[in-house]
Structure 1
Amino acid sequence: MCKNLEQLIVGHCAPTLAGLKIANLFCYPYRDVLSLNNDLVKLKKLLRVKGLNFKLIKRCSKKCQIYIYREQMLLKTLQQKDVARFLKKYNYPQSLDKALSHLANRFTSCNEFPHELGVFLGYPLADVKGFIKHGGKNFVCSGCWKAYSNKDKAEKLFTKYKKCKQVYIKCYKNGTPISRLTVAA
């Protein structure tokens, strides 16, 4: 796997690699389709061993959106009754694979950004609903996302994720391979 992709994963997905967060989404600029496919094959092999997976959410010329997730954590979240009810409004199927395919389709077919993505990233449902209701305004605090419900809890998570990212970047720069930075599910 190319070093650039590894650096992006460590920089954007450290909390997910560490098992602190359900998922992360990041943009990956690639040289050509062949190198992208080779990188994705290697990425799948690396992640599957640890109980993680990824989905190519959107691909344009020379860049793509990669969603890296902890399968069991995501499944557990999507099966929560309030989350399932919320996602049903956007026609999400109950199957994990089909739900992720629907999310990818919404990225390419919607006229507006699919803000329900927040649920897939592990953001509190109240915050996702608050963002949609208030159009991104009137939040109580912001960091990794805009929080509308529990300010203290959100700020603690923002701090935890930031610290995790700093530690992971430092470890990676000091030679720790991404395979060792990824905590098994």
Structure 2
Amino acid sequence: MNEELLINYASPTLANKKIANLFTFKNTKNLDIEEMVVEWNKVLNEKNVYVEILKKSSSSAQIYTYRPSKLKYVLNESKTRTLLNRLGYNTSDMNLCIEYLKVRIKKIDFPHEIGIFLGYPYEDVTGFINNKGSKFLANGYWKVYEKKEQKLKIFNNYNKIKKSYKILFNRYKDIRTLCIS
């Protein structure tokens, strides 16, 4: 089931410390990516974690792992709704937002508002948009535009989670036990 991919790239989400993770899966072994996502969802949905393919080509796929309850909360924030509505999102429905994000990713390789869907702080998403990706204070899981020290602590925590999850997965080989509800 290639659970190692989720451990390597989505452990902060599995640990319930991050809204979502996004990673590119290079399909060098010509695996059935859709089937892999179905299998992951069979295991993870009961823990309130969902996996979707945002974009796919013959050799790779962008895999989005997220917690719907947390994403809904962020999408309901007034400032977030205003930003996303301005970009054409229907923020009254999380699933429609994800579908529109898929459309945007196909048109624009990396739409900047994707940071909202990944749980990046609003001020850093808008800072990235307003500064066109430059003039940042730090660069880690995202580019930081405010509260640098606080964000560096978050990055450090995510790194610790990833390291711990790799060790635990190597020991137990069961992603169910590592996915926190």
Q: TM-score per shorter chain, which class?
A: over 0.9
Distance 1:41 1:156 in 2: 34
- Give structure 1 regions of 4+ aligned residues with deviation exceeding 6 angstroms: none
Match of 2:164, SS state, is: helix
Question: What is the correspondence of 1:1-185 to structure 2 with a 5 Å cutoff?
Answer: 1=1, 5-30=2-27, 31-32=29-30, 35-94=32-91, 95-110=93-108, 113-184=110-181
Aligned residues: 179
Letter in 1 for 2:7: V
| Aligned-pair CA distance for 1:85 | 0.5
TM-score scaled by length of structure 1: 0.92
| Aligned-pair CA distance for 1:145 | 0.7
Letter in 2 for 1:16: T
Letter in 2 for 1:50: K
| Aligned-pair CA distance for 1:136 | 1.4
Coordinate RMSD, CA, aligned = 1.3
8 A Cα contact 1:18 1:182, kept in partner:
yes
Distance 2:68 2:33 in 1: 23
Match of 1:26, SS state, is: strand
Distance 2:158 2:110 in 1: 24
TM-score scaled by length of structure 2: 0.94
Distance 1:74 1:87 in 2: 13
Distance 2:95 2:30 in 1: 26
Distance 2:33 2:116 in 1: 27
Distance 1:170 1:118 in 2: 28
- CA deviations on 1:70-104 (whole Å, 9 max, x unpaired) are 01000000000011111111111121110000001
Match of 2:134, SS state, is: coil
- CA deviations on 1:10-30 (whole Å, 9 max, x unpaired) are 011010000000000011233
Q: Which ranges of structure 2 fall in alignment gaps of 5 or more residues? A: none
- CA deviations on 1:26-74 (whole Å, 9 max, x unpaired) are 11233446x2232122111011110111221000012101100001000
